[in-house]
Amino acid sequence: MAFSWYDYPAYEHEDDRGCEIKNLIRWSDDDGRAAERRERRRRLAKIESAIEKSRSILELGDDFDGEGSPGYLKETWERASSFLRQLAATSLDRFSQVAAAPYIDPGPNGSIDLHWKRATCELLVTVPADPNTAPTYYGDDYGKSVVKGSLDSDANLRVVVLWLLEHQG
Amino acid sequence: MSGWEVEVIPDSGTLFLRVHKVHVREDDSIAAGAFADHGGGMSVDWAKYATPHDTRSHPTKGPGNYGAVSMNAGHVRSIDALKVIHEPIKDHPTLPDNRAHSEVIGDKTNEVRMKLGRIVDWAIRLGDPIRASYR
């Protein structure tokens, strides 16, 4: 395994090199943060890719299905994307794990579905078209473990995140 | 409105549901958005009076935009108190006659839609050849 110089603690360079060492330390910190950001982006790349791919939902106009279904508002899609980013960030920051990317699908009545369909569990979060209504969720592990409710608080978001991380396999 | 007798669909009965291409994913799985109410319930056709080709056909959009899935009536009823009701259409001002027409009644919550997704099988996939409907 190759190490770059900033993999070593800065104090190892602090002996007889004066100012030059200070710069090295600053570069070390900057490069370390940049590396962290790169790593974070890498770990969240699948989520971002799923969000970008789902942008095509916005092209669906009223009665796209011949059943009279309404089209999808940009605000709803942005809300769904924002929620998913929040879920992914919570997974990483609070639990140091990466949440799997869900399917992002057109749901009923202008809502958007985030659907995790795994071999070990299934979770469906629906972001409604009405911005004043909280997303709802239901998940189970095809057996006894069930989670359901409304995502109207950060506490509920953490419950969903934790459940997903425990069951996604 | 109906000129046909309303019958009881047995638990062993098969139902067909039309699925728009928007609800079919790249991996051929069916999105939960396919299981939605339009009007009073989720419209399906009872296999006693319809083929999946009949169900796939659409009065205005054409069959090429749709696939059809099948499900067992008893399995549907086992999900969170859903009801399956035969509701034939005859001489409706805007809808074509359809003796097979039936409704799956009950809230299509996240739980219900997810569980419906587990009990369906493809009857006709999106890309399958289009055959004549006798309706």
Provide the mean pLDDT of chain B: 93
- The answer to the question of residue B38 being in a domain is yes
**pLDDT of A20:** 54
In chain B, residues with a C-beta closer than 8 Å to the C-beta of A68 are 38
Locate A2 and state its tokens.
């190759």
Q: Is B95 on the interface with A (CB under 8 A)?
A: no
> How confident is the model over B30-41, as a mean pLDDT?
95
Q: Which 3-state string (H, E, C) describes chain B?
A: CCCCCCCCCCCCCEEEEEEEHHHECCCCCECHHHCCCECCEEEEEECCCCCHHHHHCCCCCCHHHEEEEEEEHHHHHCCCCCEEEECCECCCCCCCCECCEEEEECCCCHHHHHHHHHHCEEEECCCCCCCCCCC
Q: How many domains, chain B? A: 1
Query: Which residues in chain A are closer than 8 Å to B31, comparing Cβ atoms?
Result: 103, 105-106, 113, 115
pLDDT tens-digit series, residues B78-117:
998 899 999 999 999 988 899 999 999 999 999 999 999 9
The answer, yes or no, to whether residue B133 has pLDDT greater than 90, is no
Domain that holds residue B50: 14-124
Collect all residues of chain A within an 8 Å Cβ-Cβ radius of residue B20: 64-67
The sign of the torsion formed by the CA atoms of B71, B75, B77, B80 equals negative
**What value does the mean pLDDT take over residues B53-77?**
90
Scanning A15-153, the segments in alpha helix (DSSP H) are: 18-43, 45-53, 74-95
pLDDT at residue A30, rounded to an integer: 76
pTM for the full predicted model = 0.87
And the tokens for A12? 């190892």
B8 part of a folded domain: no
Question: Is A108 in contact with B60 (Cβ distance < 8 A)?
Answer: no
pLDDT less than 50: residues of chain A: 1-15, 17
The answer to whether the CB atoms of B108 and A108 lie below 8 A apart is yes
| Chain A residues in contact with B25 (beta carbon < 8 A) | 103, 105
- DSSP code at position B110: H
Q: How far is B83 from chain A (nearest CA, A)?
A: 20
Q: Which of B23, B36, B113 sits opposite A124 (nearest CB)?
A: B113
pLDDT at A164: 97
Q: What tokens appear for B131 in the block?
A: 């055959």
Q: How confident is the model at residue A54, as a pLDDT?
A: 98
- B119 at A interface, C-beta within 8 A: no
Asked if the Cβ–Cβ distance from B20 to A109 is below 8 Å, we say no
* A117 near B CB under 8 A: yes
B56 touches chain A (CB under 8 A): no
